[in-house]
Every structure is written in C-alpha cells, then in structure tokens.
C-alpha cells in the first residue's frame, strides 16, 4: 500500500512539474525568437535568414559581427528578464502567500479582497520554484555560452549570473524557513 502511495506522489509530482514547465519554456522560446525578428527591425539592422536542417534550423546572418553581438545580447537579456519576472513572482508567493508562514494580517486582507486563491501550498510553490529556478539557470548557461563564443556582451553574462545568485539565495532562505516550521511541528 505504501509503495503505491509513493508512486502516486511521484507521478503527481512529475505531472505537476511538466505542467509548470510549459509556461517558462514557451516564454523562453517566444521571447528569444520574437526578439531576434523585432530587434533588428527596430535598430535598422539588415539581416538574412538561412534555413537548414540542423540543431538550430533558423540562422540569422547579419551584415557585421557587431550587429549580431548587439542583437544576441539584448535578446538574451530580454529572455532572462522574462524568466526573472516569473521566478520573482514565485518568490513573492513563497515569502508572502505561503500557507506555512503567511501572516494572519495578510490572510485577513486577502479574504477581504476575495483573493484567498493567492495563498499557496508547499507542494505548489516549491514545484513552481524548481521549474523557474531551472529555467533561470538555463538562461544563465545560455548567456555564458554566448559570451564565451563572443556573441554576447560580458555585462549580460555578469548581470544574469549575479541576479541568479541573488534569486538562488532568496529561494534557499525561504527553504530554510520552511524546514524550521516543519521541524517545529514535527518535534513533538
């Protein structure tokens, strides 16, 4: 019986992670692709698109390496900004709307505003945090690779890296609070 219960929990967890991963992955791809099409138009850069059957089927060919550097840098930054905002929202939910350590005044205010749906469980918040955390660091890895290939500015790499370190610290801080609350309730 217990083995079945563990399997059900892991299946439920995997299904939830899959569902949660759709939005960040969609945003990551759309932001990068739309940025690659729009930014050169806004900056007046001319480019051609090369289609080939490869890992990356669409290649943007710019007139100069400087133009490619600018477009890649700012589209990487836009992509990271979208992921940052999503993960920041998860951290806000974790710090302020988490059912294990929400303040009574906050709960009362949410009830008055008929917004109790914002209160989240540990299962929901930490699954969301895991997904956004992974995509955030994936974006940092992408920025790092682009920087190492001289396709992005160093400040984009450093900015995404430092912001991710800060966000990771905030997530770990919240996890420590969660473990503290869990220990208090499970000591007796």
Instruction: Indicate the number of domains in the chain.
Output: 1
28 and 80 Cβ atoms separated by less than 8 Å: no
Query: How far is Cα 73 from Cα 176, in angstroms, rounded to an integer?
Result: 35
Q: What is the mean pLDDT of residues 15-20?
A: 76
Regarding pTM above 0.85, the answer is no
* pLDDT recorded at residue 75: 95
* pLDDT recorded at residue 6: 54
Tens digits of residue pLDDT in 114-169: 888 878 877 788 888 999 999 999 999 999 999 999 999 999 999 999 999 999 99
35 and 13 Cβ atoms separated by less than 8 Å: no
Query: How far is Cα 185 from Cα 130, in angstroms, rounded to an integer?
Result: 24
Query: How far is Cα 30 from Cα 44, in angstroms, rounded to an integer?
Result: 21
Task: Please give the mean pLDDT across all residues of the chain.
Answer: 87
The total of other beta-carbon atoms located within 10 Å of residue 146's CB is: 19
Tens digits of residue pLDDT in 27-61: 988 999 999 999 999 999 998 888 887 777 788 88
Query: How far is Cα 112 from Cα 147, in angstroms, rounded to an integer?
Result: 49
Asked if residue 2 has pLDDT above 70, the reply is: no
Asked if residue 83 has pLDDT above 80, the reply is: yes
Instruction: Please report which confidence band the pLDDT of residue 184 belongs to, taking 50, 70 and 90 as the band edges.
Output: confident
* pLDDT recorded at residue 12: 76
Asked if residue 1 has pLDDT above 60, the reply is: no
- Nearest residue to 135 via CA among 38, 56, 32: 32
Residue, of 107 and 163, whose pLDDT is higher: 163
Q: What is the mean pLDDT of residues 59-86?
A: 94
Residue 168: domain span: 2-186
Asked if residue 177 has pLDDT above 70, the reply is: yes
* pLDDT recorded at residue 106: 82
* pLDDT recorded at residue 7: 56
């Amino acid at each position: 019986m217990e083995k079945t219960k563990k399997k059900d929990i892991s299946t439920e967890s995997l299904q939830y992670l899959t569902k949660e991963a759709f939005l960040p992955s969609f945003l990551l791809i759309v932001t990068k692709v739309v940025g690659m099409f729009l930014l050169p138009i806004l900056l007046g850069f001319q480019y051609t698109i090369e289609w080939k059957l490869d890992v990356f089927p669409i290649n943007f060919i710019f007139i100069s390496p400087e133009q490619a550097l600018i477009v890649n840098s700012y589209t990487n930054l836009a992509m990271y900004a979208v992921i940052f905002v999503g993960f920041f929202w998860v951290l806000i939910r974790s710090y302020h709307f988490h059912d294990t350590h929400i303040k009574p005044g906050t709960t009362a205010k949410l009830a008055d505003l008929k917004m109790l749906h914002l209160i989240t469980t540990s299962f929901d918040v930490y699954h969301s945090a895991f997904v956004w955390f992974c995509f955030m660091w994936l974006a940092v890895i992408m920025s790092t690779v682009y920087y190492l290939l001289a396709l992005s500015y160093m400040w984009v790499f450093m900015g995404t890296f430092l912001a991710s370190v800060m966000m990771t610290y905030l997530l770990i801080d919240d996890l420590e609070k969660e473990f503290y609350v869990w220990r208090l309730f499970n000591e007796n």
